């Protein structure tokens, strides 16, 4: 049996607390005589976790990245002036802003706030007025709102997990997450997920 090796210099400690704010106690953890730093937010595989184990921090950070990509694309289009075909401009948006918005959305959830960048982009690109209905704009450009794609990515992710054996770690994590959400009365998807997880 192999022993667990801990890199003390890269390790931190964090107390997980409930949904409601409470005073967090200090936790002093020593490993090989070294004291681990206590944190309230840590980053792992690109995701930011807070001490409530919420991924809201990740969603906020990703939204900031989407915003930065959006203004970067606008600057590039401004540099190209009128020499950039409409199709190329659309591809630039999809390859940068949309792809960054997609990252991790199946994990930390769907946010309609990302749609604002798509709406502003196409309004500016097509010279549409602010009074132009959003539905009309989507029909003109032939695109769906970004958060629709994020729902699609989430459902695909859940479907892949449900295809795994019952003893799969991912499947067990999903069952736990749904049970927790059910207790908090936030699992709107419970009705159609529950039969699938039992099979």
Q: Domain residues of the chain, as ranges? A: 9-50, 56-152, 164-198
Task: State how beta strands 47-50 and 41-44 pair.
Answer: antiparallel
> What was the pLDDT predicted at 41?
77
> What was the pLDDT predicted at 113?
79
Per-residue tokens: 67: 């915003």
> What was the pLDDT predicted at 24?
55
Q: What is the DSSP string of 14-34?
A: -----SS--PPPP---EETTE
> What was the pLDDT predicted at 95?
92
Q: How far apart are CA 141 and CA 126, in angstroms?
A: 9
Q: How far apart are CA 2 and CA 175, in angstroms?
A: 29
Query: Between the CA of residue 161 and those of 29, 146, 157, 181, 188, what are the distances in Å?
Result: 35, 23, 6, 17, 18
Q: What is the DSSP string of 155-174?
A: HHHHHHHHTS-TT-HHHHHH
> What was the pLDDT predicted at 22?
55
> What was the pLDDT predicted at 142?
84
Kindly give the parts of the chain with pLDDT less than 50: 1, 187-188, 190
Q: How far apart are CA 60 and CA 52, in angstroms?
A: 15
> What was the pLDDT predicted at 146?
86
> What was the pLDDT predicted at 140?
83
> What was the pLDDT predicted at 70?
93
> What was the pLDDT predicted at 97?
92
Using an 8 Å Cβ cutoff, are 36 and 12 in contact? yes
Using an 8 Å Cβ cutoff, are 100 and 73 in contact? no
> What was the pLDDT predicted at 2?
60
SS3 state of residue 110: coil
> What was the pLDDT predicted at 39?
75
């Amino acid at each position: 049996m192999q022993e667990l090796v801990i890199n003390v210099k890269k390790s931190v400690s964090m107390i997980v607390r409930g949904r409601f704010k409470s005073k967090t106690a200090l936790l002093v953890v020593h490993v090989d005589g070294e004291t681990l730093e206590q944190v309230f937010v840590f980053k792992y595989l690109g995701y930011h976790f807070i001490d409530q184990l919420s991924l809201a921090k990740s969603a906020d950070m990703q939204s900031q990245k989407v915003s930065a990509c959006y203004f970067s694309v606008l600057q590039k289009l401004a540099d190209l002036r009128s020499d950039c075909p409409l199709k190329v401009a659309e591809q630039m948006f999809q390859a940068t802003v949309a792809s960054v918005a997609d990252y991790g959305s199946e994990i930390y959830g769907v946010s309609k706030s990302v749609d604002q960048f798509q709406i502003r982009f196409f309004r500016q690109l097509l010279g549409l007025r602010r009074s132009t209905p959003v539905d009309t704009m989507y029909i003109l450009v032939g695109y769906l709102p970004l958060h629709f794609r994020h729902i699609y990515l989430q459902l695909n992710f859940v479907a892949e997990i449900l295809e795994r054996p019952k003893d799969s770690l991912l499947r067990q994590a999903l069952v736990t997450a749904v049970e927790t959400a059910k207790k908090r009365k936030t699992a709107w998807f419970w009705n159609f997920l529950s039969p699938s997880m039992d099979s």
